[in-house]
Structure 1
Amino acid sequence: MKDTQSPLERVPASGTPGSVNKRTSNSLTLSIVTATYNSSAFVKDCVASVHAQTFAQIEHIIIDGASSDNTLEIINTVPNRISQIISEPDKGIYDAMNKGISASSGDIVGILNSDDFYADESVLEKVADTFCQTGCDVVFGNLDFVSPNDTSRVLRHWKSSPYRPGSFKSGWHPPHPTFFVRRELYERHGLFDISMSVSADFELMLRFMEKHHAQSSYLDQTMVKMRYGGHSTGSIREIIRGNRQIMRAFRNNGISVSPLYPAVRLLPKLKQFITRQS
């Protein structure tokens, strides 16, 4: 696999007749990649939520950045579906994710951050069913930002919506922890661009969906609980740096966007504080 863009042909569109639409969810395997680094505080919840899934064909791959705390010991104390643990220094979280994707063997690949966990036990089963029923390339859904120490307390509810061509320009993008992808897309269109230290997930989704027209299905349900204050909910400085990288992502993919885009992008995020699940 490559971590640069590739001009290879796209995967079949949703609804296109072919073997992909004839498969049942029981014939699919899902790879879940989790990057860890000194993640002892909450990694147990992450691993346990994967283990609790009702879907059977799961491989959970842990890519650890040579943690100096007891992250690995904690992982090994809870029931799990971990097929590989790779612990070595890396070049950041997106480099770790790339390692995990490259090591995976599943038909579908999802990323679950070490502080996050699946909202219920049926999430992966519903993801697999959706891939099989629609023949799509990408499945995504909604996400809750929760209090780090009281995960029943929802601070923001990210209700997504179906993708439409051009949606990224209006400030829309899927919540990356809910973003499940057929592995062929990584093979054809590349991995995360690790030069984008805080926005490589946005760039990859933009590349797959807007540039290469991956066919997607939206599940209108909360799929992942994300503890507020992690990698994706950082400081103002990180937000500014992220916006700069996002503007570069549009340029790198040949997509024109208004210079006011960073301001446009704020509106959907502000709505997340208002639109919480009841």
Structure 2
Amino acid sequence: MKKISIITVNFNDREGLKKTILSVIEQSFTKFEFLVIDGGSADGSKDLLEEYNDKIDFWVSEPDNGIYHAMNKGIQRAEGEYLLFLNAGDRLHHSTTLSEASKLMNKPVDIYYGDIIYEETDGTNKKVDFPQQLDFSYFYRFNLSHQASFIRKSLFDKIGLYNEAYKIVSDWEFFIVAIFRYDATYQHLNLIISDYDGAGISSNTENHPAMHKERDQTIEKFFSNFKNDYQLLNAYNDKYLKQLLYLKSNHKFKWTLVKGLIKLLR
């Protein structure tokens, strides 16, 4: 059995797909399989897959029902012990990334997760460090990056595949259910795993109302006892964010002081 399966889903993003493929095939570590699930793209992505056919263990180009359906197809086909979902446009951070990660993945942990470089749509980059300890409140506002998470395939056998009824938050739902209902074990890797393409669907603020609606449905379904707490915390965070944005736009000096204080407290 291969230790790692890399699953890449793509739809009409030929250039992004090429970046992802190149970052995977340059890896010094070789005990992995590479699967690409393309949704029947019409932009030349299939020609690209044919070009790199000998570098990809399995690929398919056919219509699907969305990103999570495509990811589920990859899960069902994968044979690795751990699965890493690297969407088209995302890249492994360095040619030694898998080699370094595999050395740290030396215990039977359900979810290993590392850090990312977040590539803003304006061309700027920032490093995102994920916490060592995960608690329920963390998932009120945030999520792990599936582009930096190695998920034991047996966890999908235990919990089930991604929720295909959702368009945005099925990976968030999987993490929160796995960790807080099924007591999945996890470990943070002090390592940058991927350069994350910030143009993804969940990063687009126009999709946030739909994202919050899907998250509310998950809380209602699996954690109904926390529903009121979840709604109150979201309302508080929205109010806090609006206050910060108001300071930034109308009181530059106060904003500078608050920003400095936040940095000190981090």
TM-score of Structure 1 vs Structure 2, range by shorter chain: 0.7 to 0.9
Post-superposition offset of 1:216: 0.6
Identity rate, percent? 22
Q: Is the 8 A contact 1:109 1:181 kept in 2?
A: yes
Post-superposition offset of 1:130: 2.5
Give the aligned CA root-mean-square deviation in angstroms.
2.6
SS of residue matched to 1:186: helix
> Counterpart of 2:131?
161
> Counterpart of 2:232?
260
> Counterpart of 2:217?
248
Please point out which of 178, 189, 196 is paired with 1:226. Answer: 196
- Of structures 1 and 2, the one scoring higher in RCO (CA 8 A, sep 6+) is 1
Post-superposition offset of 1:170: 4.7
Post-superposition offset of 1:58: 1.1
> Counterpart of 2:18?
44
1:94 partnered with 2:68: yes
SS of residue matched to 1:209: helix
Per-residue Cα deviation, 1:235-275 (whole angstroms, up to 9, x for no partner)? 42x1111011112112222351421343566789x99xx98
Q: Distance in 2 between matches of 1:136 and 1:264?
A: 34
SS of residue matched to 1:41: helix
Q: Is the 8 A contact 2:6 2:85 kept in 1?
A: yes
Q: Is the 8 A contact 1:98 1:192 kept in 2?
A: yes
TM-score of the aligned structures, taking structure 2 as reference length: 0.81
> Counterpart of 2:182?
212
Structure number with higher helix proportion: 2
Q: Is the 8 A contact 1:58 1:81 kept in 2?
A: no
5+ residue gaps, structure 2: 245-258
Q: Distance in 1 between matches of 2:94 and 2:237?
A: 29
TM-score of the aligned structures, taking structure 1 as reference length: 0.78
Q: For 1:41-120, what aligned pairs fall within 5 Å after superposition?
A: 41-78=15-52, 81-120=55-94
> Counterpart of 1:9?
none
Post-superposition offset of 1:126: 2.8
1:146 partnered with 2:119: yes
Q: Distance in 2 between matches of 1:138 and 1:79?
A: 30
SS of residue matched to 1:61: strand
Number of aligned residue pairs: give it. Answer: 241
Give the structure with higher Rg (CA).
Answer: 2
